[in-house]
Structure 1
């Protein structure tokens, strides 16, 4: 082959490469369509931990799609109030929400399992049940009836039992007590005499300050100190037995989610998984310093008495039996989670409990 013939053929080949590059560009654009969604949070921007889960999702989705899939995050009240987030997604007012499903248990008690039920799973068990057990499958069977698709997108770890204006030592001390408490926990405490109030996070402080409520629970030391509850209530009780490992969900309009390209769905799944892990890490890192600061400012820590814990546990068991008789969805998911929990605690008491207990003894002895 002479030099001219070689150059001519090479030029044709080069033209073919250039042409294929030009032709491929529209295909790539089709695979990564430009989409903009709105997400409403149930939390205020001031809570960088729990509100931050929504921004984690948005940032990860944008990064993984080279900015083609944008999720705009709005704080509670900017589009709809925090306690209407799921309704807005189901109706298509917004495409997504970042919220706790137990806020909506009044619509159907099964919603409670998406977050936590009293004396339920701790954070690690929640992750295991959702991701390796039947949790995600069963919950999305239910969520689909509400025009929703849900993914775990945050966990606070076990929460505190809340702020009280007076000491609570016996079950009688709970009678008539007006308490802000979310989810199915309100129904359990109602059974032992509490008057439950469901308020969004931003509404709790003024209600506690004005005496509209006598007590309030929200999350734990870091968030609670940011909201200033220690300024209007002295006693801080633990543990929050109604929220041993509460999950915060990313909710998506079912039709809008199903219409996404499959790789966009996978990106959302991965983004929610990151938000789930990152939120738990934030709380584990920030709560230790926050609880020390609260105590230094006069907060009085108190454990719930064994009498109160036992009475509330019995009340919870009775309520679960009642709700299982009323709702097939509730019974199916409760039975599955209960079986999972029995085995999980059998293992936890051998591994986590014995090790953690030993290390806590060292910490109290000043040996760490």
Structure 2
């Protein structure tokens, strides 16, 4: 009986300790969530009406929710603090804590920047090139460019493998590369050099300035990115032909950057949330894109009367020749530029071989179930 009494007292003591510990553990999140959140000011390179801003918001929402109220990403559209092409400088200088952009917008600092978003097409798409960044050495090369070569106080990651960008919007159907000669055209990044090599007169503009530039005669044709963005800023009101498929920007992704001091100042678990929210946004962005891009393409055709065409293979072949000329020139001038090209080419040779050899003919399957719908 004495033994039973002692065991009972021991159980009550340990039970009380365990209960107190559990209560403390349960109370901890309430204490954390009651703290004033650290606000991170992030600006994008996109207007508030662009679907890209929605994609940036998907990233911000995931950081906010996963941090349990300890972080609050305050996302602003292009122009709220700085212009679209200036977000990298603003993050580097500490004016912004973070930005959602693309590397083609700062390739003026170093042309190798564009290789992380608008580089040559060796046979892989945006998904393959995102895999190069995460698993093929791209992240190390990006860090070397940003921090060692350019000396910027930044860290960054990539997400959302974009589909091939259309050749763009024109006032007549493009059936030959000869029609591009002398045409005043908008694009960005290394695509400017590629199109100039084909005889095009290129102007670089952020998305929000494209239609006004066309109306003023600054440009005669343009590309931006996708059917949803293009339709939202009124491309269908100023051009009749939408040429899909192009090699000028065929493997682009978003770039999410943080001021390195701000990032280093976060607790390790918050650093992990900031990083891994990029991967979470990748999935969310792609789903949003596929739903909207496909729907808006049908609206462009059926509601807006746009003539949608595929870019001819002869034009694509000229683009590949232009890429060879451009990267050959810059690679000979800059060893680091060539270092990135060599890494991408080796990765694509192996990985695209697997992908292209393994893939069944999706067009064949589509034609089987939806006969006559595709016209190419």
TM-score, shorter chain, exceeding 0.5: yes
Match of 1:67 in 2: 69
By how many angstroms is 1:293 displaced? 1.5
Residues 1:334 and 2:337 are matched in the alignment: no
Match of 2:293 in 1: 287
Aligned residue among 308, 311, 333 for 1:301: 308
Q: Please say which of residues 77-86 and 208-217 is displaced more in the overlay.
A: 208-217
Aligned residue among 133, 143, 148 for 1:130: 133
Q: Please say which of residues 221-230 and 69-78 is displaced more in the overlay.
A: 221-230
Match of 1:36 in 2: 39
Query: CA separation of 1:329/1:256 partners in 2, compared to 1, >3 Å: closer, same or farther?
Result: farther
Match of 2:321 in 1: 314
Residues 1:51 and 2:57 are matched in the alignment: no
Match of 2:259 in 1: 253
Q: Please say which of residues 328-337 and 168-177 is displaced more in the overlay.
A: 168-177
Structure 1, residues 210-235: CA drift from partner, whole Å, max 9, x if none?
32211110111122111110110111
By how many angstroms is 1:21 displaced? 3.9
Match of 1:117 in 2: 119
Q: Are the equivalent residues in 2 in contact too, given 1:155–1:277 (CA < 8 A)?
A: no
Structure 1, residues 220-260: CA drift from partner, whole Å, max 9, x if none?
11221111101101111121312223100111112222222
Q: Are the equivalent residues in 2 in contact too, given 1:43–1:76 (CA < 8 A)?
A: yes
Q: Tell me the SS of whatever aligns to 1:301.
A: strand
Match of 1:146 in 2: 152
Structure 1, residues 8-41: CA drift from partner, whole Å, max 9, x if none?
x9599669948x949x969x859x9842110010
Structure 1, residues 288-343: CA drift from partner, whole Å, max 9, x if none?
22112212222112333333222221111121111112223211111100111122
Q: Tell me the SS of whatever aligns to 1:169.
A: coil
After TM superposition, list the pairs within 5 Å mapping 1:230-245 onto structure 2. 230-245=236-251
Q: Are the equivalent residues in 2 in contact too, given 1:147–1:255 (CA < 8 A)?
A: yes
By how many angstroms is 1:146 displaced? 2.5
Count of residue correspondences: 361
Q: Tell me the SS of whatever aligns to 1:51.
A: helix
Q: Are the equivalent residues in 2 in contact too, given 1:160–1:239 (CA < 8 A)?
A: yes
Query: CA separation of 1:21/1:288 partners in 2, compared to 1, >3 Å: closer, same or farther?
Result: closer
Q: Are the equivalent residues in 2 in contact too, given 1:156–1:279 (CA < 8 A)?
A: no
* CA distance, structure 2, for counterparts of residue 12 and residue 278 of structure 1: 45
Aligned residue among 74, 99, 102 for 2:101: 99
By how many angstroms is 1:89 displaced? 0.8
List gaps (5 residues or longer) in structure 1.
none
Q: Are the equivalent residues in 1 in contact too, given 2:170–2:242 (CA < 8 A)?
A: yes
* CA distance, structure 2, for counterparts of residue 321 and residue 60 of structure 1: 41
Query: CA separation of 1:143/1:16 partners in 2, compared to 1, >3 Å: closer, same or farther?
Result: same
Aligned residue among 167, 170, 184 for 1:178: 184
Aligned residue among 358, 361, 365 for 2:364: 358
By how many angstroms is 1:355 displaced? 2.9
Q: Are the equivalent residues in 1 in contact too, given 2:246–2:311 (CA < 8 A)?
A: no
By how many angstroms is 1:367 displaced? 9.7
Aligned residue among 224, 234, 241 for 1:228: 234
List gaps (5 residues or longer) in structure 2.
none
Query: CA separation of 1:300/1:138 partners in 2, compared to 1, >3 Å: closer, same or farther?
Result: same
